[in-house]
Amino acid sequence: MARQKELQRREADTLSRKHLAGIRVRRQNLVYVTGLRLNTSDPQLSEKLRGDQFFGQYGRIDKIVVNKPKESRSMQPVGVYITYFDKHDAALCIDMVNGTQNAGGVIR
């Protein structure tokens, strides 16, 4: 009986979310950077990206997620998600970083 109720609850949850399938959530404090060439084997990479030499110079950072490539070569282009506390800091980061050069690649 309890198992059947659990299955019904899961089915109801799935049905209630179907209308969200085509919706994209826009967060104004989130920046996605592509084309950044970094040494992904560095254990302190996230902390370095938070620093004043990288993205920390544009404002207070809440969270950084680095999409590491499947192949573990050094200086491989990666994607980085940076969540700022303030949407104005994210906008400043985008304005300052977009189109700049990094180790032979263009950052977007």
Listed by start position, the domains of the chain span 25-106
Q: How far apart are the first and last CA of the chain?
A: 54
Average pLDDT, the chain: 83
pLDDT of residue 76: 73
pTM: 0.71
Q: Smallest Cα–Cα separation from 85: which of 66, 65, 61, 64? A: 61
Retrieve residue 87's tokens.
């949407």
CATH topology of domain 25-106: Alpha-Beta Plaits (3.30.70)
For 73, residues 6+ apart whose C-beta sits below 8 A from its C-beta are none
Distance from C-alpha of 99 to C-alpha of 70, rounded to nearest angstrom: 25
Distance from C-alpha of 58 to C-alpha of 82, rounded to nearest angstrom: 11
Confidence of residue 50 (pLDDT cuts 50, 70, 90): very high
